[in-house]
């Protein structure tokens, strides 16, 4: 097969239990490399491996939405709600942001912001 599929094969981590979807993917990859008979099955397993196994991400988003959109903030429109949601969901990224630089960048956007923030 291609080197791309070999990279995918090497990146799968399992202790060879032969009962999980990752082990099945390894077998299909090996068979597909030796003959062209299992190319369709290989493609199916490749797409299955990309699908999330649970709805954890979706549930996490709705949980954060409940926290952000309280009765006090029920008048938030989509323009203001979306950035708040992104900051709440991607909290690990927002914690690493240089806050001083962010405030300076916002302050430079207008004279009124400069007056209020600096």
| Higher pLDDT pick, 80 / 4 | 80
Domain residue limits at 109:
56-117
The reply to whether 111 and 69 lie within a common domain is yes
**Lowest-confidence range among 29-38, 63-72, 94-103, 107-116?**
29-38
**Lowest-confidence range among 16-25, 63-72, 74-83, 89-98?**
16-25
Give percent above pLDDT 70 in the chain: 70
The reply to whether 95 and 67 lie within a common domain is yes
Say which residues have a Cβ less than 8 Å from residue 84's Cβ, sequence separation at least 6: 68, 76
pLDDT in tens, 32-41: 666 666 777 7
The reply to whether 91 and 42 lie within a common domain is no
The reply to whether 9 and 45 lie within a common domain is yes
Number of domains in the chain: 2
The reply to whether 45 and 88 lie within a common domain is no
Q: How is 58-78 classified by DSSP, letter by letter?
A: HHHHHHHHHHHS-STTTT--H
pLDDT at 2: 47
pLDDT in tens, 12-25: 566 667 667 677 77
Judge if pTM exceeds 0.75.
Answer: no
Over range 87-94, report the average pLDDT.
83
| Higher pLDDT pick, 18 / 29 | 29
Total residue count of the chain as it appears in this document: 118
Report yes or no: 89 and 110 within 8 Å, Cβ to Cβ.
no
């Amino acid at each position: 097969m291609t080197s791309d599929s070999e990279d995918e094969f090497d990146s799968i981590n399992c202790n060879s239990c032969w009962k999980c979807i990752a082990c099945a993917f390894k077998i299909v990859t090996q068979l597909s490399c030796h003959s062209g008979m299992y190319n369709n099955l290989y493609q199916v397993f490749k797409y299955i491996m990309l699908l999330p196994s649970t709805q954890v991400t979706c549930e996490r988003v709705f949980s954060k939405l409940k926290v952000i959109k309280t009765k006090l903030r029920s008048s938030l429109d989509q323009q203001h709600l979306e950035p708040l949601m992104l900051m709440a969901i991607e909290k690990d990224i927002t914690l690493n942001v240089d806050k001083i630089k962010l405030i300076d960048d916002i302050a430079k956007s207008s004279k009124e912001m400069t007056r209020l923030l600096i």
